[in-house]
Amino acid sequence: MTTKYSKKKKPECPIGHHQDNIIPIIYGEPTGQTMDKAQAGLVHLGGCVFTVIAPKYFCKIHKKEF
């Protein structure tokens, strides 16, 4: 399962900076393509179980999910 995020919404880190270092969190068993994106730093793997309150984004600077 891959979660899609709106390209119009610009996420903001709770600590205050904007989208340059913020990537989406992908849930579910990753495909080969998803693993390639994760290794390139384009997505963050969030695990196999998705919940309603699961975070949507990951800040690469602060290493925080939100």
Cβ(58)–Cβ(11) below 8 Å: no
> How many helices (H) and strands (E) in the chain?
1, 4
The whole-number pLDDT of residue 5 equals: 53
Count CA within 13 A, CB hemisphere, residue 65: 13
Q: pTM to 2 decimals? A: 0.80
* pLDDT tens, residue by residue, 10-66: 788 888 777 679 999 999 999 999 999 999 999 999 998 888 899 999 999 999 999
CA distance 43 to 13: 15
Element housing 34 (H / E): helix 32-39
Domain range list for the chain? 19-65
The whole-number pLDDT of residue 24 equals: 94
The whole-number pLDDT of residue 16 equals: 77
